[in-house]
């Protein structure tokens, strides 16, 4: 957490307003473009008005929904993401440029990056203002390439075919050729992103403490090119032949207009900061809660028999 993020512990005043509110002087909002966020907005507006806090909307790409006056993320002490994991990713990228922490607010089911449901937002803000939170540092992927390409991802970077035909991908790790293949594309992911597109493409889930990244081919046509886990200090170099239909670049699920022939991906430590409240849910427990990981039917049937007193 940066020294200029003024979030420290102070007691609550008798009338319910947070005495430490001056430590969180300005809050920036990033909102989902369509999801119902009324409860979250009502709660944050009431809290900021009661505590004399400035409330502003942070500018992000393709943002057309306006809920507050515009403000610069560097002028805010805290950024709130109202929506879900995708909105929180947008907020993390915006806040990372100024080193600001992000509190993810779930307007729906609780995801991997959201720390509080919308109905509990006032209590969460009280806790942040008192300094009762922990910074969760997230690594990123820096992706550079031809044409002055320079992007950052928190979950993954994907090259995927955008029309008929296949793309040809050559993968090098630290200057050594791993494999060349034809297929639908490739995913390079952090541990946080390994349970998303990477998992869907048949790649492994990386534990948060693994410190590396994973490279996963998408629907490769023949050959032997399994997913590859590489170390955190490694550089992955991709040479892309887009084929007749072309290929597109996606960074954290957002389509990028760049059409690179060569990409270089490297892990960046401490790219963004996520606000944690209380005891954080373990990574694998979160995957089980959201049913990304599900026990086999035979094991579940055995549990059911045991609960009914059967053998």
Active-site residue set: 85
DSSP of the chain: --TTS-----PBPTTSSBGGGGGS-EEEEEE-SSS--HHHHHHHHHHHHHHT-EEEEEP-TT-----S-EE-GGG-SEEEEEESHHHHHHHHHHHHTTT-EEEEEESSS--SS--EEGGGHHHHHHHHHTT--EEEEEEEEEEEETTTEEEEESSEEEEEE-SSS-EEEEEEETTEEEEEEEESEEEEE-TTTTTTHHHHTTPPPPPGGG--EEEEEES--SS----EEE-TT-EEEEEEE-TTT-EEEEETTEEE----SEEEEEEEEEEEEEEE-SSPPPHHHHHHHTTSS---HHHHHHHHHHHTT--
């Amino acid at each position: 957490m940066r020294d200029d993020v003024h979030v420290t512990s102070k007691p609550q005043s008798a009338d319910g307003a947070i005495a430490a509110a001056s430590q969180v002087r300005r809050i920036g909002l990033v909102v989902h473009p369509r999801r119902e966020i009324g409860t979250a907005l009502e709660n944050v507006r009431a809290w900021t008005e009661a505590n004399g806090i400035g409330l502003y909307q942070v500018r992000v790409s393709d943002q057309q929904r306006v809920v507050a006056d515009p403000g610069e993320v560097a002028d805010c002490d805290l950024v709130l993401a109202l929506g879900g994991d995708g909105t929180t990713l947008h907020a993390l990228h915006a806040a990372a440029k100024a080193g600001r922490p992000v509190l993810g607010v779930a307007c729906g089911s609780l995801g991997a990056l959201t720390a509080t449901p919308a109905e509990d937002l006032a209590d969460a803000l009280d806790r942040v203002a008192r300094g009762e939170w922990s910074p969760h540092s997230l690594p990123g992927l820096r992706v550079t390439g031809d044409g002055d390409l320079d992007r950052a991802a928190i979950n993954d970077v994907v090259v995927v075919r955008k029309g008929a035909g296949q793309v040809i991908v050559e993968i090098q790790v630290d200057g050594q050729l791993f494999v060349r293949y034809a297929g639908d594309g490739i995913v390079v992911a952090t541990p946080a992103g390994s349970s998303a597109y990477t998992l869907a493409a048949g790649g492994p889930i990386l534990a948060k403490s693994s410190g590396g990244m994973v490279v996963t081919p998408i629907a490769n046509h023949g050959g032997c090119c399994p997913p590859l886990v590489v170390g955190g200090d490694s550089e992955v170099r991709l040479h892309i032949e887009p084929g007749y239909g072309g290929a597109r670049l996606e960074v954290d699920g957002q389509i990028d207009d760049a059409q690179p022939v060569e990409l270089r991906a490297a892990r960046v430590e401490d790219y963004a900061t996520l606000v944690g409240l209380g005891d954080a849910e373990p990574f694998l427990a979160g995957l089980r809660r959201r049913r990304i990981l599900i026990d086999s039917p035979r094991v579940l049937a055995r549990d059911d028999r045991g609960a009914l007193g059967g053998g």
